[in-house]
Structure 1
Amino acid sequence: MDYGIWNVIELLGALGFFIYGMKVMSEGIQKAAGDNLRSILGTMTSNRYTGVLTGFLITAIVQSSSATTVMTVSFVNAGLISLVESAGVMMGANIGTTITGWLVSLIGFKMKISAYALPLIAVAMPLMFSKKPNLKNWSEFMIGFALLFLGLEALKEAVPEIQKSPELLSFLTQFNDPGILTRLMFVGVGTILTIVVQSSSAAMAVTIVLCAQGLPIEIGTAMILGENIGTTITAELAALVGNVHAKRSAKIHSLFNIIGVTWMVIMLPYVLDLLHYIWPAPETGDPNKFTLALFHTTFNFMNVMLLIWFVPSIVKLATRLVKSKGDEDEEFSLTNINYDAPLTAEVSILSAQKESIKFAEITKLMFTNLKELLNEQKQDTRDKLKAKISKLEVRTDEIEERIADYLVRVSEQQLSIESSVKVRSILSIAHDLERIADIILRMSKDIERGNKQKSIFSEKQNKNIKEIFGLVDLSIEQMITNLNGVYGKVDISGAIETEMAINALKTKMRKQHLKSTEKKEYDVQSGIIYRDLFFAAEKIGDHVINVSEAVRGDFGKDDEDM
C-alpha cells in the first residue's frame, strides 16, 4: 500500500470537513432549540439524577459533550450549581455523546449518504433566505447534517484500507486478543487522538472508519476508552482560569472517566463476548461499526449506573485532590469566563445570562452590607463592612468589562435576531448592575462621612430611610427573579409597581426634607447625608427597573424589530 504525504493531507482535510459539518449542525440545532434548551438547563439544579438526564439531553441536542462539560464548569465557577449536581450533568453528557457513534454507524455506512446530501442542501438553501429566523436555523442544521456526512464520506475515502496492506493487516491481527498492557497502549492512542482533534465525536468517527477498514475490534474498543479520557482535557483547560470549585468540577469529570476506563480495561474481553452474544455478528458485511457504537453506549451507561451511587465519594476525592488556596480561591467568581471554551453562540449567551444573575446577586449582597453599615455602631465592624463593599465594587467593574468583552466575541459569530436582542439586553443589564454597585459604594462613603461627623438621624429620618431601603431591597429581589425568567417573556408588572412606589416615596421625602430644613428640625450636615441617601436609593431603583425592562427585551430591540 502506497500511502504518502498527500494522502495524509487529504485525511486531515476530510477530518476537518467532518468537524466543520458537526459545528454547523450543532449551531443550527442550538439556535432552533432556543427556549427549549434553556428549559432543559433549568432542571440542572435539581439533583444528580435529573442532572444525568439534563446532561444527556443537552449533549444529544448540541452534539458536543465538550460544550456541555465546559458550560457546567462555568456554572460551578459562578456558584450556580453544586459539585454534586455538576457530576450528574457530566455523567449524562458521556451518554449523550454516544449518539454520534450511532449516527455514523447506522446512517454513514448503511446508505450512500452523498446521494442524499446534495439534495438535502438544495432543500435547505432556499430556507436560508427566509424571513422567519426558525426556518433559517433549521436550514443551517440541515446543511450541517449534510456536510457532516459528506465529511464522513471523504473520511472513508481518505483512511487507508488495512485489508489491502498484508503487512499491516498481519501486524494488527496479533492484537485480536490483546493483553492488558496492549489495551492500555491503545487507550493512550485514543486519548492522544481526541486531544489532537479536540472532539471525541470526531475521534469516534475515525475509529469506526478504521475498524470498517480492517482494524481489529479489540483495538477499536480500547481506543474508544481512551477517547473518553481525552474528552476530559477540554473541561480541565476551561477550569484553569476558574476558582477552586470549577477545578474540582473538572476533576470530577476526569475521575469519573478514568475510574470507568480502569475497570473496563480489565473487563474488556468479557464485555465484548457479552455484546457479541447479545448482538451476533451478521454473516455478511462488517459488524465492527455497530459493535463499536453498541460498546460505546454500553460502557458509558454501565459506568453511570455504577458510579452514580458513589458521587459523594468522588466529590470528596476531587476536593482532596484540588486544595483551596484561600478565601479568594473559594469565592464564586464571574470574572473568569473562558474565552477559549468551544461553546457556540446560543450556549455562550445562555452562560452570559447565568453570569448576569450572579452579578445581580453581588449587588444584592452589597446593598445588604450597606444596610448593616447604616445601623452598625462598632467602628471595627463598620470598617470591615465598608472594605467589603469597596472590594465587591472593584469586582463589579471587572465583571462588567469581561462580560462585555465576552459578548463582543460572541457577536462575531453569526447570530439569529433573537440572539442579537439578547446580547444587547445583557450588555445593558451589565452596565446598569455596575452603576448600582457604584451608587452603593458612594452611599457607603456618605454613611461613613456622617459617622465621622457624628451626625445622628432623627427618628423620622430613620423611619423614612428604612422604608425606602426596604422598597429598594424588594425591587432588587424582583430584578433577580426576572433575570431568572425567560428573556422576552417575563412579566415585570410587580417590578414597575415597586419602582413607582420608590419614586413616590422619594418625592414625598424630598418635600418633607425641604420643610424640615426650613424649620431647622435637624442640623445641616445630617440633612445633607439624609438627602443624598434617599436620592441615591431612588437612582438605584431607576437602574433596577432598567434591568427588568432589558430582560423583557426593551433595550435589545431595534426600532424596526419593535
Structure 2
Amino acid sequence: MQDLDFDFWLFLAGLGIFLFGMHHLEDGIKGLAGKSFKNLLKKFTNRSWKGILTGTFVTGILQSSSMVNLLILAFLGAGMINLKNALGVILGANLGTTFTAWIVATLGFKMNVADFSFPFLALGILSYLFLKGRPVIKNLGLFLIGFGLLFLGLDYMKEAMEAVSGGIDMNIFSQYGLWAFLLVGLIVTALIQSSSAMIVIILSALNSDLIDIYQSVALIIGANIGTTSTLVLGAIGGTADKKRLAFANVVFNVVAGLIAFAFLRQAIDVLLNVFHVTDVLMELVILNTFLNFFGIILFFPFLGLFQRFLKNRFKVSEPVGATIYIKNVPTNVPDVAIKAIQNELTHLYDLTKDFIINVYEVKLENISKLNKWMRIFKVAKNPNDKYDHIKLIEDEMTVFYSNLMKQPLDDDEVKLLEDNMAIMRSLVYASKDVKDIQHNIKNIQDSSESLPIDVLENLKDTINKRFNQYDQLMNLAMHEDLSINFYVENHNVYNENIHFIYNHLKQSKKQTITVSTITNVTKQTISSLNNMYSACKKYCSVYKTDNSEHSDVTSVA
C-alpha cells in the first residue's frame, strides 16, 4: 500500500510537470510567433473550410485549443470573422489537439524519455536565465523548457503506471460497461482542464495493459466531451458570442462523441482491419484522430444553419453599449482590439454622415432605387437622438482606449491608437459643428426667403459632392497624395457663399433670417466638412497600406 501511495504521488507529480510544460511551451510559441499565428487566423478564416484547416494547423502547433478559442472569440467580437467561420475554427481546433497524442505515441514510449528531455531542459533553462535580455532567445528557452518538461512529466506518469499496473483491478469499472469509462474520461478531463494530459494518461494506462483498446476509446470520447468544460466555464457571465461558441463546442463534441460511442466496437473493428496497425498505441491515436475528423464531416454541411440557430440564442447576454465592435472585444488582445477600433471608426463615420445628411435633408446622388424606397417608408428619427448616439460612442471608445493603453503595447501600436482617437475626435467635432446650427438650418428650411434658401442649397450640393469624395477616402480608394486639397476647396466654397450673400443683400427685402445666421451656417458647415476631411484623410493615410485586409474585414462586418 505504501508503494501504491508513492507511485500515486509520482504519477501526480508527472501530471503536474506535464501541464507545467504545456504552459511554458505555449508561452514560448506565443513569444516566438504569436503575431504570426494571429495573422494566420485572421487571413485564412474567411471561409468555413479554411477556418477548419487553419484551426487544425494553429492548434496543432500551439497545442492549446483554449488559446485558439480566445483569439477566435476576440476576432468574432471585432467583426474580423463571422460566426459560421468561427465555428469552423472550433471544429479544426478539436482535430488539432490530437497532435499531442501523435507525438507521445510516436516518441514517448519508444525511448528513454527522461534522458531525451534533459538536453532540452538544460539548454532551455540556461538560455532563459542568462540570455533573458534577448527576447527571441528567451522565448526559445521557454519553448525548450516546455518541451523538456512535457517528456519528463510523461516519463514519471509512465513509470508510475507501470509500477502499479499489477495492483489496480480495472474490473471495478469493467463490470459497469464502457459507459463507466466514458464518464471517467469526462470527469477527469473536466477536473484537470486538459484533454492533452488526459490522452497521455490513457496512453500510459494502455501501454501498461491496464485497459484495452475499447476502454481506451471510451475514455477518449469522454475526454473530448470533458474538454468542453474549459469554454463553458469561460462563458459564464460572458458575452453572447462567448456563450454561442461554448454551446457550439459542447454540441459538436457531445453529438459526435455519443454517435461514435453507439457504434464504438464496430468502428474500432473496421478501422483496425483497414489500417492493419499492430501497435496498440498507434491504434488509439488513429481512432482518436478519426473521432474528431468524424465530427468535422458531421457538422460541416450544417454550419450555416447552425449559425442562424445560434444567432437567435443568448440575446440577453448581448453586450450593452452604443458601439458595435469594441464592446465585444477584450483589451488583453491588443492588436485585435485596435482592429475593432478601426471597424468602430468606419461605423462612426457612417453615423456622423447620416446625422449631417439628416439635419440638412440632403438627398445623396449615389443611393440606389431600393434605398430611395426604403428612405420613403423609413420612420424618421430625431437628429438629436443620432447626435446623442454619436456622443455615447465617443464616451465608450474613450474608456476602451484608456483601458487598452494599460496593456503592454509597442510604439507602433501606441501611435496607431493615438491616430485612431484623433480620427474619432474629428468625426465628433464634425457632428458638433452641425449640432450647434441645427436650429438655424431648420429655420431656413421653414422660411420662404430666397437668399438663405439659395445659400443652404449651395451648401447641400457641396455636402453631397464632398461625401462622395470622402467615401472614397474611407474606402481607401483615394489616397492622400491625390492632387486635391479639400481644405482649400472648402475654403473657396466658403468665400463663394459669403460673396453671394453680400451681392444679393441689396436685392433682397427685409430678411427674417438674419445675415449673421446665414454666414454662421456657412462657416459651421465648412468647419464640419473640414473636420470630416481631417478624419478621412488621416484614416486613409493610416490604413491605405492595409487595403486588402481592410476589404476583407469590412466585407465580414
Q: TM-score scaled to structure 1, two decimals? A: 0.77
8 Å Cα contact 2:28-2:141 kept in structure 1? yes
Corresponding position of 1:387: 385
CA–CA distance in 1 between the matches of 2:272 and 2:123? 40
Summarize deviations over 1:62-81 as a string: whole Å, max 9, x none.
22122223332333344433
Aligned match of 1:23? 23
What is the match of residue 415 of structure 1? none
> Is structure 2 residue 521 aligned with structure 1 residue 529?
yes
- Which residue number in structure 2 is paired with residue 84 of structure 1? 84
Distance in 2 (CA, whole Å) between partners of 1:520 and 1:233 is 76
Q: How many Å separate the matches in 2 of 1:382 and 1:435?
A: 27
Extract unaligned runs of 5+ from structure 1.
340-344, 412-418, 482-493, 554-562
By how many angstroms is 1:527 displaced?
2.5
Partner of 2:359: 374
1:432/1:271 CA distance change after superposition, 3 Å: farther
Tell me, in whole angstroms, the C-alpha distance in 2 between the residues paired with 1:549 and 1:150.
52
2:325/2:340 contact within 8 Å kept: no
Percent identity among equivalent residues? Answer: 23
User: Do residues 450 (structure 1) and 448 (structure 2) align?
Assistant: no
* Residue deviations 1:167-212 (CA, integer Å, cap 9, x gap): x34535x36xx63xx42x4333323333323332233233333333
Partner of 2:345: 360
- What are the equivalent positions in structure 2 for 1:228-247 lying under 5 Å apart? 228-240=224-236, 244-247=240-243
Q: Is the 8 A contact 1:78 1:333 kept in 2?
A: yes
Cα distance in 2 for residues equivalent to 1:543 and 1:5: 69
> Separation in 2 of the partners of 1:237 and 1:368?
42
Match of residue 438 from structure 1: 428
Are the equivalent residues in 1 in contact too, given 2:459–2:525 (CA < 8 A)?
no
Shift of 1:44: 4.2
8 Å contact from structure 2 (residues 387, 435) kept in 1: no
2:143 corresponding residue in structure 1: 141
Query: What is the Cα deviation at residue 273 of structure 1?
Result: 2.2
CA RMSD, 1 decimal: 3.9
2:191 match: 196
What's the CA shift for 1:98?
0.9
Q: Secondary structure, in 3 states, of the residue corresponding to 1:497?
A: coil
Q: Which amino acid aligns with 2:118?
A: L
Summarize the alignment of residues 157-556 of structure 1 with structure 2, pairs less than 5 Å apart: 157=159, 161-166=163-168, 168-171=169-172, 174=174, 179=177, 182-183=178-179, 185-216=180-211, 217-240=213-236, 244-279=240-275, 282=278, 287-319=279-311, 322=313, 324-325=315-316, 332-338=324-330, 348-376=333-361, 383-402=381-400, 404-406=402-404, 408-409=406-407, 411=408, 420-421=410-411, 423-425=413-415, 427-436=417-426, 438-446=428-436, 448-454=438-444, 456=453, 457-478=455-476, 495-497=479-481, 501-509=485-493, 512=496, 523-546=515-538
Matches within 5 A, 1:11-160: 11-33=11-33, 36-124=36-124, 125-126=126-127, 129=131, 134=136, 136-157=138-159
Change (3 A) 1:499 1:219: farther
Q: Are the counterparts in 2 of residues 28 and 137 from structure 1 also a CA contact under 8 Å? A: yes
| Structure 2 counterpart of 1:503, one-letter code | Y
* 1:55, distance to aligned residue in structure 2 (A): 1.5
1:394 is aligned with what amino acid? Answer: L
CA distance in 2, matches of 1:423, 1:206: 43
Alignment check: 8 A CA contact 1:155 1:206 kept: yes
Residues 18 and 150 of structure 1 are in contact (CA less than 8 Å); yes or no, is this contact kept in structure 2?
A: yes
Q: CA deviation at 1:366?
A: 1.5
- The answer to whether the 8 A contact 2:424-2:535 is kept is no
Q: Distance in 2 between matches of 1:551 and 1:132?
A: 31
Which amino acid in 1 is paired with 2:524? D
Counterpart code for 2:106:
L
Q: What is the DSSP-based 3-state SS (H/G/I as helix, E as strand, rest coil) of the residue aligned with 2:485?
A: helix
SS in 2 for 1:141: helix
Aligned-residue offset at 1:261: 0.7
Stretch deviating more after TM superposition (131-140 or 18-27)? 131-140
Q: Secondary structure at the match of 2:406?
A: helix
Structure 2: give runs of 5+ residues left out of the alignment: 363-375, 446-452, 506-513, 546-557
The Cα offsets for residues 395-445 of structure 1, whole Å up to 9 and x where unpaired, read as 443244235425635x2xxxxxxx624542453355335424532542452
Amino acid at match of 2:190: I
Partner of 2:370: none
Q: 1:256 aligns to what SS in structure 2? A: helix
1:240 CA displacement: 4.8
SS at match of 1:292: helix
Q: CA deviation at 1:280?
A: 5.1
Amino acid in structure 2 at the alignment position of 1:225: I
| Displacement after TM superposition at 1:236 (Å) | 3.7
Match of 2:343, SS state, is helix
Query: Does structure 1 retain, via aligned residues, the 8 Å contact 2:65–2:93?
Result: yes
Change (3 A) 1:134 1:471: farther
Whole-angstrom distance in 2 between the partners of 1:145 and 1:469? 57
TM-score (norm. length: structure 2): 0.77
Q: CA deviation at 1:263?
A: 0.3
Distance 1:534 1:13 in 2: 72
Give SS of 1:80's match. coil
1:355 CA displacement: 1.9
Kindly provide the amino acid, as one letter, of the partner of residue 48 in structure 1.
S
Contact 2:21-2:146 within 8 A present in 1 as well: yes
Q: How many residue pairs align between the two structures?
A: 511
Counterparts of 1:508 and 1:150 in 2: how far apart (Å)? 76
Q: Which amino acid aligns with 2:480?
A: I
- Per the TM alignment, residue 305 of structure 1 is displaced from its structure 2 partner at its CA by 1.9
CA distance in 2: counterparts of 1:31 and 1:310, whole angstroms: 36
Counterpart Cα distance in 2 of 1:266 and 1:376: 66
Write the distance in 1 (CA, Å) between the matches of 2:161 and 2:395: 52
1:43-98 per-position Cα deviation (integer Å, ceiling 9, x unaligned): 44432222211211221232212222333233334443333222222211111111
CA–CA distance in 1 between the matches of 2:9 and 2:20? Answer: 16
Cα shift at 1:246? 4.8
CA distance in structure 1 between the aligned counterparts of 2:46 and 2:18, rounded to whole angstroms: 36
Cα distance in 2 for partners of 1:403, 1:3 equals: 58
Equivalent position SS for 2:299: helix
Structure 2 vs 1, CA of residues 462 and 376 (structure 1 numbering), >3 Å: closer, same or farther?
closer
